[in-house]
Amino acid sequence: MSQQYNPFDNVVAAIKKAAAILEYSENDYTRLLHPEKELKVSLPIKMDNGEVKVFDGYRVQYSCTRGPAKGGIRYHQNVNIDEVKALAAWMAFKNAIADIPFGGGKGGITVNPKELSAGELERLTRRYTSSMSYMIGPDKDIPAPDVGTTPQVMGWIVDTYSMINRIYSPAVVTGKPLPLGGSQGRVEATGLGVFRTVLNILKKLDMDPKRVTVAVQGMGNVGSYSAKFMYEEGAEVVAVSNSSGAVYLKTGLNIPEIIEHIESGKKLCDYNAEGVEHITNEELLTLDVDVLIPAALENAINEDNVNDVKAKVIVEGANGPVTVAADDILSARGTYIVPDILANSGGVIVSYFEWIQNQQNYYWTLEEVNTKLLEKMDKNFEDLWTLSKEKNITLREAAYVIALERIAEAAKPRGIWP
């Protein structure tokens, strides 16, 4: 279903809206409607059974105006160039609103990583790294994990890049395993940032986090940590889902038990506990809850289901989970939506901290990382909220206004080369 929507359209619409609010002329932002560089590679891999399979790989550097490109790598069967372009553009705006000195990029391979053995995954990752090795680098373009990739995948990228260039280069990616120069707190950073964002918006709306009901779509890295932190705060997390299905319990699910169930390799749809009902992913999105956290893929909330969405607050854990049309309908109805580029920026903020630690070869404690992360999340949310009230615009519009202005302000003194 999500294939009907081109996520890149969402980006263009958001940029144009922000440019209109800022009263920019086309000359001020037209560059930002085009990715700076798009790489498409074919990746032949020898499978374990001797067969050769060819996979499509991509890397897009959307904008390097504010610094080197930065953004994750996605392994998923639906990866295509329009998706990677949209994800790369969102990174440029996310890094600008996060106020970290990076441009935006993203990469991906069209593959279902769950269908590969560890050896096949390693060969695919190394081949992909070598195909884009001239494009990435600590001061050029710094990948990180995204849907379907892990710290181990980052480890293989560090090794391949370091072997090709004959220089140990841990700063070429972030989200690495700790012994390779990863940062404390990086694994849970996106979920922690989403959680903090939920607390920040609830405070503004005078809602007690201990009394709210929450539904989380997606129990990958972002969704599971968001759900866990909400549960620990005392909220009632009534529903969670993943690609296998969704579970619901009116009085609140036992999130640590569900995470353990999933981590032990079992399917979420096979989870059972007293009173737990099995519902569909679609039903989860339309539950009557206070807070909905879409933390799966793009376009989850769209024209087809938006009229049934009842949540008062939506905090976007995923990138692009609400289409433009659905966003307009929800905003007109008074639903508060905290946009992806702010809400899920905790991951890339700690990636920035990891990159700094690598460059300095000096490592921080978990407490230092988390204190700095939460300070940034709070300040960025406050700026967004204030601007949205001041100008009477949505939080998404405010986010793009702040981000676009930062990118445009950096573009001006750089000028256009030659």
User: Which residues would be at the binding site for ligand GLU (CB under 6 A)?
Assistant: 70-72, 94, 144, 146, 174-175, 319, 344, 347-348, 351
Which of 106, 228, 312, 376 is catalytic? The answer is 106
Dihedral sign, CA of 383, 387, 389, 394?
negative
Taking a C-beta distance cutoff of 8 angstroms, is the pair 10, 320 a contact?
Answer: yes
157-195 burial: b if 16+ Cβ within 10 Å, else e? bbbbbeeeeeeebbbbbbbbeeebbbbbbbbbbbbbbbb
Minimum distance of ligand GLU from residue 208's CB (angstroms): 29
Nearer to ligand GLU, 137 or 245 (CB): 137
Nearer to ligand GLU, 70 or 396 (CB): 70
Minimum distance of ligand GLU from residue 2's CB (angstroms): 17
Q: Which of 353, 350, 349 is nearest to 363 (CA)?
A: 353
SS3 of 335, please? Answer: coil
SS3 of 109, please? Answer: strand
Residues 6+ apart with CB under 8 A from 405: 22
Minimum distance of ligand GLU from residue 268's CB (angstroms): 22
The full DSSP string for 381-400 is HHHHHHHHHHHT--HHHHHH
Distance, CA of 400 to CA of 359 (rounded, Å): 30
Q: Is 106 annotated in the active site?
A: yes
Helix (H) or strand (E) holding 355: helix 346-360
Distance, CA of 381 to CA of 399 (rounded, Å): 9
Which residues are bridge partners to 194 per DSSP?
Answer: none
Nearer to ligand GLU, 187 or 239 (CB): 187
Nearer to ligand GLU, 190 or 213 (CB): 190
Minimum distance of ligand GLU from residue 240's CB (angstroms): 20
Q: Which two tokens stand for residue 399?
A: 């986010």
Minimum distance of ligand GLU from residue 21's CB (angstroms): 24
Ranked by CB distance to ligand GLU, the top (closest) residue is 72
Nearer to ligand GLU, 189 or 326 (CB): 189
Nearer to ligand GLU, 157 or 212 (CB): 157
Which residues are bridge partners to 69 per DSSP?
Answer: 141
Minimum distance of ligand GLU from residue 343's CB (angstroms): 10
Residues marked as catalytic: 106
